[in-house]
Amino acid sequence: MATDIGPRARKGRTKPSRITGRKIESTNHYQEYSAKQLVLFAIGRFVREDEAALEMLANGDFELRLAIGEIFHLSETTLTRIA
């Protein structure tokens, strides 16, 4: 998700998304979500688009396997890169 945020961001400025090429009108609507929620939204999108697989582990954590070969373990408060 390419957004124009940070100290040099201008209100109302549009910028093409590096992923989709669509314009993002404003990043203000993202402020209602926590960083964790935004990451989970992105993971859900990867899974829906068959770019990743998500599996629950025996300990209750989740394993995220990306189509490019990277593996992550997701717990309640951490995301750990495995491979």
Task: Look at residue 18 in the predicted model and tell me its pLDDT.
Answer: 52
36 vs 57: CA distance, rounded Å: 20
47 vs 52: CA distance, rounded Å: 5
Length of the chain: 83
Q: Which tens digit of pLDDT belongs to each residue from 12-66?
A: 444 544 555 555 555 556 677 888 888 899 999 999 999 999 999 999 999 999 9
3-state secondary structure of 17: coil
0.75 surpassed by pTM: no
**Annotated domain spans of the chain:** 1-32, 33-81
Contact between residue 68 and residue 81 where contact means Cβ atoms under 8 Å apart: no
